């Protein structure tokens, strides 16, 4: 043990030449479970297992484990850290990424916590990078002595523990208190220009004064387009704002680098961001009908469908061949009613305005299946986490109908955090005070032609620590029907307390129970299974009656998370079919946050094109996870490309398969109903790549029309190969046809 401390100290001294921090990447121990004693510095953890914090505890010998676990490390904190630092007032501890909630103890004293609805570690569900800053004179720190850092974790589902690369302890540096805030939206001007304001802000008492460097580079050529340096001074009372405009940009992303250098300390802070570019053409003023070609409902169930259409308003709607029991509101485009007779009803939809009219063939299929194409909608989780409330849901519904439903977006889904703490005396579930009137809320959503979703767990508690449906399944299904719910996400969570080590039947059981309850009610409720892909759920999700099933743990708004989920879906692709879809989790575009305060997604703009293209190729439900009250121009453009959405909504319901995989790029191919194919050429590398396919390659052979789906135009290709220059982490999405 002692040898280890010496080693840690030696490493620390050595690495101080480069950075003053002491790395905390090695020397951790882990115990699964929970005990207050484990915070104590005197607790003997010698028998605990050594753990590699580069990876989650699932990867470290605890597969599928959710619940409590503790990490401990013994570390000497030398006072030389303080002596050599420019600012000596606080200590910073980097704990990698925490999944999901944590409490951090230094020598038995609580020095920080994250997650928690009401101060209870179990009710949080907030994964992400964690850094704690404490005062250097905090008596918890034992300078020049052995310290015990103990981290209590509560994992609600999916990956768990502390993991990643950023583990260290050091003095909070001058720049640890500075933020280059790039959250403002870009403004789009003439001459293909972009402008924006960024802010330098601080929470420190220190007065910053120095230079702000601003540089724009083209990642394709590495050439510098703009370079400027400005004086910059700011304090906690007075931030510094820098506004810039860059012009004559091509249709691609550029990299902006901001570098602030503080004169007094000589310290430097650098941040980069990429610039947005819009690919979806501006919608025409002429009428056009969008959305899927088919919609399924069960006989006798309330029917609701808003015809998605673009074009100058007012639009007038017509539907010929509607089955008995349905009526159309010609002014709003909402079809409602109920159909008693099973059957496939071909309908001709027409939308007109003063510039003309457009028709589309549409099938209404009344039978046992619903969700014939993947759900398109919004879910509160990736934006608001447990802070979701009635107002946020109404704002989302209004924004959806004003800006997105014309392209087929239809579901407004409330995730965890709506439930009361206790059931009524008769066992009925109720909403908490953030949702004063669930029926009123669903009436409002339905009045817009949209559908409402809700969330629960088969366990006694949800992942956020609220009430689940355990032993109340029939009652809850009936309550949802009474409220007018159209979609249920059913999340395993605390069901592990009921069945800790389920076999395959055990994994299916709770989903079959709720299926049976949903089958008893007179309402079509889309059934979305959420259990993180356990037991290869894609192989039996349809059998237990799921309209979709999560194939993975929770997504985060990083390239690492999105790409490792998205590009690992090949195993599940063959199981995708109308009414039953793989769900690689919700979208991380726009402003996300998993709680009350939001930030721009950390995905670059090219990564966002990849995200939407790949999810559409996979026939995934597309559930927007951002603040819909704040849809910036890029996000709106990204989510309103009818040709991209048509790939997702293709009635054949196939999942794309991984056709070519190598270190730098991948090609995914999806067969479409019309006999064509959608093909995604993805650049997984950090550099521009030219991705080519021979025209005689089986993927292309026999097809002579190549369409750039994002730009909605045909590509003229001479020669024997099809080639595309693709940006780092970006995509070229094409559709080939005859």
Q: Which residues are marked as active site?
A: 491, 554
For residues 323 and 311, the answer to whether their CB atoms sit within 8 Å is no
Return d(Cα 736, Cα 738) in angstroms, integer. 7
Question: Residue number with the shortest CB distance to ligand GLA?
Answer: 463
The C-alpha angle with vertex 563 and arms to 562 and 568, in degrees rounded to 5, equals 110
Chain positions 256 to 275 lying near ligand GLA, rule: CB under 6 A, are: none
Could you tell me the smallest distance in angstroms from the CB atom of residue 463 to ligand GLA?
Answer: 3
Annotate each residue in 529-548 with x if it binds ligand GLA (CB under 6 A) or - if it does not, as one string: -x------------------
CB of 139 to ligand GLA, least distance (A): 36
The DSSP result for 381-442, as a single string, is HHHHGGG--HHHHHHHHHHIIIIIGGGT--EEE--SS-B-SS--TTS---B-TT-S-HHHHH
Return the number of the residue (60 or 416) whose C-beta is nearest ligand GLA: 416
State the nearest-atom distance from the C-beta of 414 to ligand GLA, in Å.
10
Least distance in Å: CB of 446 to ligand GLA?
23
Q: Mark out the alpha helices in 44-169 (DSSP H runs).
A: 80-84
Q: Burial level of 704, CB count in 10 A (0-12/13-18/19+)?
A: exposed
User: Where do we find the tokens 């293909």?
Assistant: 192
Report if residue 156 touches ligand GLA, rule: CB under 6 A: yes
Reported as type and span, the H/E element at residue 303 is strand 303-306
Residue with Cβ nearer ligand GLA (405 or 547): 547
Dihedral sign for Cα atoms in the order 162, 166, 168, 173: negative
Nearer to ligand GLA, 306 or 529 (CB): 529
Task: Look at residues 367, 184, 376 and name the one whose alpha carbon lies nearest to residue 292.
Answer: 376
Considering the complex, state which of residue 94 and residue 156 has its C-beta at the smaller distance from ligand GLA.
Answer: 156
Interface with ligand GLA: number of residues (CB under 6 A): 12
Integer CA distances (angstroms), 14 to 7, 8, 19, 23, 238, in order: 11, 10, 9, 11, 39
* Three-state secondary structure call for residue 498: helix
By beta-carbon proximity to ligand GLA, the closer residue of 202 and 382 is 382
Tell me if 66 contacts ligand GLA by CB under 6 A. Answer: no
Query: Applying CB under 6 A, which of residues 167, 381, 581, 609 lies at the interface with ligand GLA?
Result: 381
- Smallest gap from residue 555 Cβ to ligand GLA (A): 8
By C-beta, is 96 or 157 nearer to ligand GLA? 157
Residues 732, 196: Cα–Cα separation, whole Å: 28
| Max Cα distance, the chain (Å) | 83
Q: What is the distance between the alpha carbons of residues 616 and 51, in angstroms, rounded to a whole number?
A: 38
Question: At closest approach, how far in Å is the CB of 554 from ligand GLA?
Answer: 5
Structure letter (DSSP) for residue 638: H
**467 near ligand GLA (CB under 6 A):** no
What is the phi/psi pair of residue 534, to 5°?
A: -60, 145
Question: CB 464 → ligand GLA: shortest distance, Å?
Answer: 4
Among residues 275, 442, 462, 569, the one that binds ligand GLA under rule CB under 6 A: 462
Contact status, residue 680 vs residue 651, Cβ threshold 8 Å? no
The nearer residue to ligand GLA, 157 or 655, going by C-beta atoms, is 157
Helix (H) or strand (E) holding 648: helix 642-648
CA 350 from centroid of its chain's CA atoms: 36
Q: How far is the CB of 385 from ligand GLA (least distance, A)?
A: 8
Of 541, 548, 530, residue with least CA distance to 374: 548
Residue 514 has a CB neighbour count (10 Å cut-off) of: 25
Residue 90 or 101 having the CB closest to ligand GLA: 101
Our CB check for ligand GLA shows the closer of 280 and 561 to be 561
Q: Which of 499, 501, 519, 512 is nearest to 541 (CA)?
A: 512
Q: Cα separation of 581 and 652, whole Å?
A: 12
CB of 156 to ligand GLA, least distance (A): 5
Contact 678, 734 (CB under 8 A): yes
Smallest distance, ligand GLA to C-beta of residue 158, A? 6
Residues 472-531 that bind ligand GLA (CB under 6 A): 491, 530
Cis peptide before 314 (omega within 30 of 0): yes
User: Among residues 39, 98, 125, 679, which is the contact residue for ligand GLA, using CB under 6 A?
Assistant: 125
Nearer Cβ to ligand GLA, position 156 or 310?
A: 156
Cβ contact 460:468 at 8 Å: yes
Q: Is 134 helix (H, G, I), strand (E, B) or coil?
A: strand
**Closer residue to ligand GLA, CB minimum distance, 390 or 491:** 491
Q: Do residues 617 and 609 touch, judged by C-beta distance below 8 A? A: no
Angle, CA 34 vertex, CA 31 and CA 37 arms, to 5°: 90
Q: Which stretch binds ligand GLA (CB under 6 A): 75-83, 208-216, 457-465, 519-527?
A: 457-465
Chain CA centroid to CA 668, Å:
21
Least distance in angstroms from the C-beta of 70 to ligand GLA: 21
Q: What is the DSSP letter of 153?
A: E
Q: Which stretch binds ligand GLA (CB under 6 A): 13-21, 290-298, 460-468, 567-575?
A: 460-468
Which range in 425-433, 459-467, 624-632, 683-691 contacts ligand GLA by CB under 6 A?
459-467
Selected binder of ligand GLA within 103, 416, 627, 642 (CB under 6 A): 416
With CB under 6 A as the contact rule, which of the stretches 19-27, 91-99, 340-348, 461-469 interacts with ligand GLA?
461-469
Q: Which of 69, 96, 115, 157 binds ligand GLA (CB under 6 A)?
A: 157
Window of 178-186, 277-285, 391-399, 458-466 that interacts with ligand GLA by CB under 6 A: 458-466
Residue 143, classed as helix, strand or coil, is strand
Cα(492)–Cα(611) distance, integer angstroms: 26
Binding mask 554-593 for ligand GLA (x = CB under 6 A): x---------------------------------------
Of 23, 459, 464, 578, which lies in the binding site for ligand GLA, with binding defined by CB under 6 A?
Answer: 464
Burial class (CB in 10 A: 0-12, 13-18, 19+), 582: buried
- Residue placing its CB nearer to ligand GLA in the complex, 156 or 576: 156
Q: Which of 415, 486, 607, 643 binds ligand GLA (CB under 6 A)?
A: 415
- Shortest distance (Å) from residue 205 CB to ligand GLA: 38
Contact positions vs ligand GLA (CB under 6 A): 125, 156-157, 381, 415-416, 462-464, 491, 530, 554
């Amino acid at each position: 043990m002692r040898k280890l401390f010496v080693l840690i100290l030696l490493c620390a001294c050595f690495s101080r030449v480069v950075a003053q921090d002491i790395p905390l990447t090695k020397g951790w121990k882990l115990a699964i479970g929970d005990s207050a004693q484990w915070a104590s510095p005197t607790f003997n953890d010698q028998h605990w297992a050594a753990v590699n914090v580069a990876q989650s505890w699932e990867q470290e010998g605890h597969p599928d484990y959710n619940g409590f676990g503790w990490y401990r490390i013994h570390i000497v904190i030398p006072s030389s850290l303080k002596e050599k630092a420019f600012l000596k007032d606080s200590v910073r501890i980097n704990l990698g990424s925490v999944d999901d909630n944590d409490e951090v103890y230094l020598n038995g004293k609580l020095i920080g916590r994250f997650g928690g609805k009401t101060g209870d570690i179990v009710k949080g569900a907030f994964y992400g990078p964690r850094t704690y800053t404490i005062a250097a004179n905090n008596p918890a720190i034992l300078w020049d002595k052995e310290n015990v850092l103990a981290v209590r974790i509560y994992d609600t589902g999916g990956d768990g523990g502390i993991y990643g690369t950023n583990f260290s302890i050091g003095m909070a540096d001058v720049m640890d208190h500075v933020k280059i805030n790039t959250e403002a939206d870009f403004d789009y001007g003439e001459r293909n220009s972009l402008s924006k304001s960024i802010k330098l802000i601080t929470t420190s008492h220190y007065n910053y004064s120095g230079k702000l460097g601003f540089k724009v580079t083209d990642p394709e050529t590495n050439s510098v387009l703009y370079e400027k340096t400005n004086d910059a001074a700011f304090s906690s009372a007075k931030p510094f704002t820098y506004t810039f405009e860059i012009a004559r940009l091509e249709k691609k992303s550029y990299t902006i680098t901001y570098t602030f250098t503080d004169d007094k300390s000589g310290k430097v802070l650098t941040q980069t961001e990429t610039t947005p570019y819009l690919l979806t053409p501006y919608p025409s003023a002429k009428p056009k009908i969008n959305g899927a070609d088919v919609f399924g409902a069960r006989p006798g169930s309330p029917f609701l469908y808003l015809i998605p259409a673009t074009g100058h308003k007012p639009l007038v709607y017509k539907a010929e061949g509607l089955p008995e029991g349905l009526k159309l509101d010609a002014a709003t485009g909402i079809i409602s009613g109920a159909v008693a007779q099973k059957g496939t009803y071909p309908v001709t939809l027409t939308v007109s305005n003063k510039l003309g009219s457009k028709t589309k063939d549409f099938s209404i299929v009344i039978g046992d299946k619903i969700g014939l194409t993947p759900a398109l909608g919004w879910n509160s989780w990736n934006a608001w986490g447990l802070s979701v409330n009635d107002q946020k849901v109404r704002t989302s519904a209004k924004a959806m109908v004003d800006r997105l439903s014309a392209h087929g977006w239809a579901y407004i889904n409330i995730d965890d955090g709506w439930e009361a703490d206790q059931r009524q005396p008769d066992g009925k579930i109720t909403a908490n005070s953030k949702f004063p009137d669930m029926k009123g809320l669903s009436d409002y959503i339905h009045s817009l032609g949209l559908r409402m979703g809700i969330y629960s767990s088969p366990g006694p508690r949800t992942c956020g620590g609220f009430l689940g449906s355990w032993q109340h399944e029939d009652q809850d299904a009936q309550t949802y029907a009474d409220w007018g719910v159209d979609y249920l996400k059913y999340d395993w969570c605390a069901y592990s307390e009921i069945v800790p080590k389920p076999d395959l039947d055990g994994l299916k059981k709770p989903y079959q129970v709720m299926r049976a309850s949903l089958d008893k009610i007179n309402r079509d409720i889309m059934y979305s299974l959420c259990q993180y892909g356990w037991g290869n759920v894609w192989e039996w999700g349809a059998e237990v009656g799921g309209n979709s099933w999560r194939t993975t743990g929770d997504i985060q708004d990083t390239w690492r998370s999105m790409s490792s989920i998205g590009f690992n879906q090949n195993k599940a692709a063959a199981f995708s079919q109308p009414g039953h879809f793989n769900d690689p989790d919700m979208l991380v575009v726009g402003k996300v946050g998993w709680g009350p305060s939001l930030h721009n997604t950390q995905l670059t703009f090219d990564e966002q094109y990849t995200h939407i293209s790949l999810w559409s190729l996979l026939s995934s439900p597309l559930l927007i996870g951002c603040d819909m009250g704040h849809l910036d121009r890029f996000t709106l453009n990204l989510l309103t490309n009818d040709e991209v959405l048509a790939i997702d909504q293709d009635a054949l319901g196939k999942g794309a398969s991984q056709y070519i995989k190598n270190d730098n790029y991948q090609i995914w191919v999806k067969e479409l109903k019309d006999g064509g194919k959608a093909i995604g050429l993805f650049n997984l590398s950090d550099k521009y790549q030219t991705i080519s396919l021979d025209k005689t390659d089986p993927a292309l052979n026999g097809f002579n029309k190549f369409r750039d789906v994002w730009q909605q135009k045909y590509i003229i290709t001479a020669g024997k190969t099809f080639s595309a220059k693709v940006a780092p982490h970006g995509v070229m999405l094409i559709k080939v046809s005859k």
